[in-house]
């Protein structure tokens, strides 16, 4: 595979990552909006179904984003071997930070639904 083909493949993965990130943000905000507007009026079964679908869809997006980032790092190594281990270590650190941030966003959305369903009354 030529350098141009590798760069084109990396660009495709970056575009796919952006699409998955946009989908993740859309799913999370739709869930938060549903929780805010109708969360307290929903039955336990409805909340369970909506929460499960949101977590499943968001997890698929997190998985896909992570796989794309790993592939991007691996293919960058093929193009620029002089980058060495430091670039890979920083890339892996960024993947962990982004991954943990996305998981925290999912947990925060679920927590928001919980707080809407179980308000603290004083």
**Could you state, in order of their start, the residue ranges of all structural domains in the chain?**
3-117
User: What pTM does this model have?
Assistant: 0.80
* Tokens standing for residue 6: 């590798």
Has residue 24 got a pLDDT over 90?
yes
**With 0-12 CB in 10 A as exposed, 13-18 as middle and 19+ as buried, what is 68?**
buried
Residue keyed to tokens 């938060």: 32
pLDDT score, position 122? 59
Q: How many CB atoms lie within 10 A of CB 52?
A: 10
Is 90 exceeded by the pLDDT of residue 3? no
Percent of the chain residues past pLDDT 90, beyond the cut: 50
What rounded mean pLDDT belongs to the chain?
Answer: 86
Would you say 65 and 100 are in contact if contact means Cβ atoms under 8 Å apart?
Answer: no
């Amino acid at each position: 595979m030529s350098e141009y083909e590798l760069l084109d493949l990396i660009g495709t993965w970056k575009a796919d990552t952006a699409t998955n990130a946009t989908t993740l943000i859309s799913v999370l905000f739709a869930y938060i909006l549903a929780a805010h507007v109708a969360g307290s009026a929903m039955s336990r079964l409805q909340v369970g179904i909506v929460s499960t679908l949101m977590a499943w869809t968001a997890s698929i997006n997190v998985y896909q984003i992570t796989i794309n980032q790993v592939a991007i790092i691996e293919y960058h190594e093929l193009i620029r071997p002089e980058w060495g281990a430091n670039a890979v270590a920083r890339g892996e650190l960024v993947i962990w930070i982004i991954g943990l941030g996305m998981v925290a966003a999912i947990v925060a959305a679920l927590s928001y639904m919980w707080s809407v369903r179980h308000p603290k009354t004083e």
